[in-house]
Amino acid sequence: MDPPHFTFNRFRTSRRSYTAAETYKMEFMYSGLENRQIAIIHHMRLQANALQLLVTARTTRGEEPMFGLCEQFLQEIDVFQRCFISELPHMQDSFVDKLLDLMPRLVNSKPLQMVKILQTTLRQSSFLRLTLPEQVVYPDGQIQIIHPKPADFRNPGPGRHRLITQVYLSHTAWTGNQQDHHMRREGLIYV
C-alpha cells in the first residue's frame, strides 16, 4: 500500500493531467472560437503546467532533474507570448501577465527559485473568465452560435456545471420532422 503522501501526490498529479487534458478538449471540441477564447484556454494549460512543475519539484530530489522541466516551461511562456501577443492587453493581472513581467528573473533563477516564484505568482494572479459559444442546430439544418453570459451557468456540485438557456423560436423557424425537434450543443441534447 502506498504511503498517504505518495497517494496524495499521485492524486494531485492526476488532477493536473486531467486539467491539461480538458484544455485540449475545450480547444478542439468547440468550433468558431475567437482568438481570445483560445488564448484563455492556453492560459489555463500554462497554469496546469506550472502546477505540475510545483508537484514535480516537491516529489523530486535535487535540482538536476528540474533543469529541463524549467527550461521547457520557459519555452511555453515564450510560445504563448508569440502566439497571443494581441490578446495580452486583455489579460492584465493574469498569471501569464505576471510571468512576462518576471521573465528576466525567471530566466536567471535556479529551478527551486523558479518554483517559488511560480507558486507565489499562481496565488496572486487574477482569474480569467472563459465563455464558450453554444451551437444550436435546428431540425432544418440551420446553425446558430450563441454566447451565454456567465450568469447563465450554474454549479450543481463539484466538477459539474449546468447551462441554463432559453431560446425563443418562431413557428416558421421550427420546421422539420416532429421527432427531430430538439437543440443540440456539441453532442448534448436539450429537449
pLDDT band at 50 (very low <50, low <70, confident <90, very high): very high
How much is the pLDDT for 59? 87
Output 39 or 30, whichever has higher pLDDT: 39
Question: Are 12 and 98 contacting, i.e. CB atoms less than 8 angstroms apart?
Answer: no
Q: What is the mean pLDDT of residues 168-173?
A: 61
Displacement of CA 97 from its chain's centroid (Å): 16
Q: What is the mean pLDDT of residues 168-181?
A: 54
30/191 Cα distance (integer angstroms): 21
Q: What is the mean pLDDT of residues 98-112?
A: 94
Between the alpha carbon of residue 150 and those of residues 98, 128, 132, 157, the distances in Å are 25, 12, 10, 17
118/136 Cα distance (integer angstroms): 40
Q: What is the pTM of this model?
A: 0.65
Question: Are 36 and 90 contacting, i.e. CB atoms less than 8 angstroms apart?
Answer: yes
180 secondary structure, DSSP code: G
Q: What is the mean pLDDT of residues 133-161?
A: 73
How much is the pLDDT for 11? 46
Say yes or no to pLDDT of 40 above 80: yes
pLDDT in tens, 51-60: 989 988 988 8
pLDDT band at 119 (very low <50, low <70, confident <90, very high): very high
In DSSP terms, 145 is beta-bridged to 135
pLDDT band at 30 (very low <50, low <70, confident <90, very high): low
Q: What is the mean pLDDT of residues 173-191?
A: 45
